[in-house]
């Protein structure tokens, strides 16, 4: 039980508390609606995250497997020479977007134009290395997108928890306290009103006896 606030049982205080209660109830509804929408958006991002993570892990596993095979059939010096010079450069651009009052990151990879994906002679390496580099090259965009979505999910989860605590504080503490206090003041005012009526009746009876 939340109990009641320590206030003076006056009509002015009753009016003020009723206004606070109305504001608290409205705020609770808005926060609850916001929480529901945030959870819906979180579930959408979580679904995207699961799908993209499975794709990235599968392709990364394939790339690493073919790279291990390439290392097994080629000299280390040949492998190191083949991958020593990158075929292109990349640049990560950062921005942000607002999702339900949560500012989340937006990351985009800009790759330099390059005529050749493979910066080495095909005669010097195996097809497995070609396959591994090809898969890894295509993975960069997906891995950056995965990092963006995971960060968004984490930030939304934190905000959902904060919002849940606010909703619970209003629902189980503030609103019950206000309702209990309003009930108490109303009972006190009714009791005073009845006492005043009784006194008036007695005074009227005493006046009538004296006449």
Residue recorded with tokens 């492998």: 79
> What is the DSSP secondary structure assignment for residue 107, as one 8-state letter?
E
**Res. 71: pLDDT tops 90:** no
- Mark 6-24 as b/e (b = at least 16 C-beta within 10 Å): eeeeeeebbeebeebbeeb
Is there a domain that residue 6 lies in? no
pLDDT grade for 153, boundaries at 50, 70 and 90: very high
Q: What is the mean pLDDT of the chain?
A: 85
Indicate if the pLDDT at residue 136 is higher than 80. no
* Residue 111, beta-bridge partner list: 90
Per-residue pLDDT reduced to its tens digit, 13-30: 999 999 999 999 999 999
Q: Is residue 134 part of a domain?
A: yes
Q: Find out whether 1 and 175 touch, Cβ atoms under 8 Å.
A: no
Note the pLDDT of residue 118: 56
For the stretch 171-208, pLDDT in tens is 999 999 999 999 999 998 888 888 888 888 888 878 77
Which has more pLDDT, 26 or 2?
A: 26
* CA 11, 16, 20, 22 torsion-angle sign: positive
Residues 157-176, mean pLDDT to the nearest whole number: 95
Q: Is residue 5 part of a domain?
A: no
* Residue 12 covered by a domain: no
Per-residue pLDDT, 5: 84
| pLDDT value at 163 more than 70 | yes
Q: What is the pLDDT of residues 81-112, one digit of tens each?
A: 666 666 677 888 999 999 988 999 999 888 77
The pTM for the full model equals: 0.76
Number of structural domains, the chain?
1
Listing DSSP states for 110-131 in one string gives EE---S-SS-S-TTTS-HHHHH
55 lies in a domain?
yes
What is the predicted pLDDT for the residue at 66? 83
CATH code (residue 97)? 1.10.287.3240
The string of DSSP letters for 136-193 reads HHHHHHHHHHHHHHHHHHHHHHHHHHHHHHHHHHIIIIIHHHHHHHHHHHHHHHHHHH
Count the alpha carbons within 13 Å of 172 in the hemisphere toward its beta carbon.
6
Question: Is residue 35 domain-resident?
Answer: yes
Q: Can you give the residue range of the structural domain that contains 158?
A: 17-206
pLDDT at 210 over 90: no
> How far are the Cα atoms of 168, 185, 187, 204 from residue 58, in angstroms, in the given order?
42, 66, 69, 94
């Amino acid at each position: 039980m939340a109990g009641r606030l320590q206030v003076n049982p006056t009509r002015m205080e009753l009016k003020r508390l009723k206004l606070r209660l109305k504001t608290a109830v409205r705020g609770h509804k808005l926060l609850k609606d916001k929480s529901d929408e945030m959870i819906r958006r979180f579930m959408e991002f979580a679904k995207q995250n699961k799908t993209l993570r499975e794709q990235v892990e599968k392709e990364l596993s394939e790339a690493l497997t073919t790279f291990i095979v390439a290392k097994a059939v080629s000299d280390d010096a040949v492998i190191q020479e083949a991958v020593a010079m990158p075929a292109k450069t990349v640049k990560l651009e950062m921005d942000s977007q607002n999702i339900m009052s949560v500012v989340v990151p937006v990351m985009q990879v800009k790759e330099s134009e390059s005529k050749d994906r493979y910066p080495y002679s095909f005669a010097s390496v195996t097809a497995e290395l070609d396959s591994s580099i090809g898969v890894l090259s295509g993975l960069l965009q997906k891995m950056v997108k995965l990092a963006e979505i995971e960060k968004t999910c984490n930030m939304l989860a934190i905000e959902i928890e904060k919002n849940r605590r606010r909703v619970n504080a209003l629902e189980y503490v503030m609103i019950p306290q206000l309702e209990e206090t309003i009930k108490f003041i109303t009972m006190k005012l009714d009791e005073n009103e009845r006492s005043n009526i009784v006194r008036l009746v007695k005074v009227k009876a005493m006046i009538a006896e004296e006449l």
